């Protein structure tokens, strides 16, 4: 969402970003290198491009290629400051919602503000002693060297403005740092715009296409076909509600919370009241929101069930991407069997 009344502040934000970029380019701010190759996954926007399911999909691809992989994350919103491995049975408050969601897929995830320290811990923990780090939301975390920079891009970002008037953390010109531009399969306009701006293969950048598929839960037969109340706390909530409708859900009411919202008992009580008022069968949310709900999602009876819809990323040319990554990363030790 654009905030035109804040446009006068954009030059100040841009100046600050330019100073930091210059400090990195001139070596005034140190850039550290881990022993393993680092693949950064990021974007220009402050959120909402699907980095988490993309990271999970890329980790799965590398694992299928026999490559040991872990994820390094800041752990946005976590209550602790120490560098640590995410316990998949922990809480979003301890580790952050996105790291916890990734860890629940079985991939080792390490959190900490300094991603160099998280990577060092991951390398000391690992067996075998060689692998690949996926740097979650890493495009702007330039204090850590990376072998591959992947940036998720869409038409909405290309038409957006810098913070605080828009949602961009960096201008479109920053895409020149990327090695890979990952564009949603249906967004041909973004590819055309990128090429018109001089990005893409002509300057040695790969363009990967991917699609996002909503994986709906299997509702009990007694609830199937009945209306539901949908809610979420993500950056682009309208995409979630539209996706549910496309999947055939009858949405009696919807409720959008701020991105990374920390749910309270009061929130859940209000949602259950809304469910009863609309005579809905269940509450439906995202997998990330269910992680953030934690124990609040449980109920002593079946009167107020909460179901989660997952979002999966599927690469258009998975085999080609695997070959590209092998060439970019060089030899890496295979994952333990």
Q: Can you give the pLDDT of all 337 residues of the chain as single tens digits?
A: 678 788 788 888 788 888 888 887 877 788 999 999 999 999 999 877 789 999 999 999 999 999 999 999 999 888 888 999 999 999 999 999 999 999 999 999 999 999 999 999 999 998 777 899 999 999 999 999 999 999 999 999 999 999 999 999 999 999 999 999 999 999 999 999 999 999 999 999 999 999 999 998 888 888 888 999 999 999 889 999 999 999 999 999 999 999 989 999 999 999 999 999 999 999 999 999 999 999 998 865 557 889 999 999 999 999 999 999 999 998 875 544 4
Q: Which helix (H) or strand (E) holds 217?
A: none
C-alpha to C-alpha distances, 167 to 141, 152, 157, 160, nearest whole angstrom? 17, 14, 8, 7
C-alpha 250/C-alpha 304 separation (Å) is 17
Structural domains in the chain plus CATH codes: 23-213+314-329 (3.40.50.300), 216-311 (3.40.50)
Q: Where are the beta strands (DSSP E) in the chain?
A: 38-43, 69-73, 84-85, 109-111, 132-136, 148-152, 180-184, 206-215, 228-232, 251-256, 282-286, 306-315
User: In whole angstroms, what separates CA 303 from the centre of its chain?
Assistant: 32
Question: Backbone phi, then psi, for 333, in 5-degree steps?
Answer: -70, 140
Q: What is the dihedral of CA 111, 114, 115, 117, to 10 degrees?
A: -90
- Convert the pLDDT of each residue in 263-310 to its tens digit: 999 999 999 999 999 999 999 999 999 999 999 988 655 578 899 999
Look up the pTM and report it. 0.92
C-alpha 44/C-alpha 139 separation (Å) is 8
- First CA to last CA distance, the chain: 47
C-alpha 336/C-alpha 128 separation (Å) is 7
Residues 6+ apart with CB under 8 A from 70: 107, 108, 109, 110, 122, 126, 131, 132, 133, 134
The answer to whether residues 45 and 140 touch, using CB atoms and an 8 Å cutoff, is: no
User: In whole angstroms, what separates CA 227 from the centre of its chain?
Assistant: 29
C-alpha 244/C-alpha 224 separation (Å) is 14
């Amino acid at each position: 969402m654009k905030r035109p009344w804040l446009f006068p502040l954009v030059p100040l934000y841009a100046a600050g970003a330019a100073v930091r970029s210059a400090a990195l380019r001139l070596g005034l701010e140190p850039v550290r290198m881990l022993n393993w190759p680092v693949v950064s996954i990021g974007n220009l926007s402050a959120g909402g491009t699907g980095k988490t399911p993309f990271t999970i999909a890329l980790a799965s691809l590398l694992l299928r290629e026999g490559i040991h992989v872990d994820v390094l994350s800041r752990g946005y919103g976590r209550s602790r400051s120490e560098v640590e491995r995410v316990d998949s049975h922990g809480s979003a408050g301890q580790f952050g919602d996105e790291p916890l969601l990734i860890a629940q897929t079985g991939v080792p995830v390490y959190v900490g503000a300094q991603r160099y320290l998280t990577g060092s811990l991951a390398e000391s923990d690992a067996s075998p002693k060689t692998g690949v780090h996926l740097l979650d939301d890493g495009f702007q975390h330039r204090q850590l060297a990376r072998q591959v920079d992947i940036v998720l891009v869409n038409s909405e970002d290309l038409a957006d403005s810098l913070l605080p008037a828009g949602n961009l953390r960096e201008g479109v010109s920053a895409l020149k740092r990327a090695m890979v531009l990952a564009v949603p399969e249906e967004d041909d306009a973004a590819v055309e715009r990128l090429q018109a701006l001089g990005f893409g293969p002509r300057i040695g950048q790969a363009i990967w296409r991917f699609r996002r598929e909503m994986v709906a839960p299997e509702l009990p037969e007694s609830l199937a076909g009945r209306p539901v109340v949908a809610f979420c706390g993500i950056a682009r909530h309208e995409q979630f509600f539209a996706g549910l409708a496309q999947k055939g859900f009858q949405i009696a009411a919807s409720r959008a919370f701020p991105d990374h919202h920390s749910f309270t008992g009061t929130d859940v009580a209000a949602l259950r009241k809304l469910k009863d008022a609309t005579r809905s069968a269940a509450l439906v949310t995202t997998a990330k929101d269910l992680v953030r709900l934690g124990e609040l999602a449980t109920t002593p009876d079946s009167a107020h069930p909460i179901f989660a819809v997952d979002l999966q990323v599927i690469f258009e040319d998975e085999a080609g991407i695997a070959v590209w990554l092998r060439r970019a990363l060089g030899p890496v030790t295979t994952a333990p069997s």
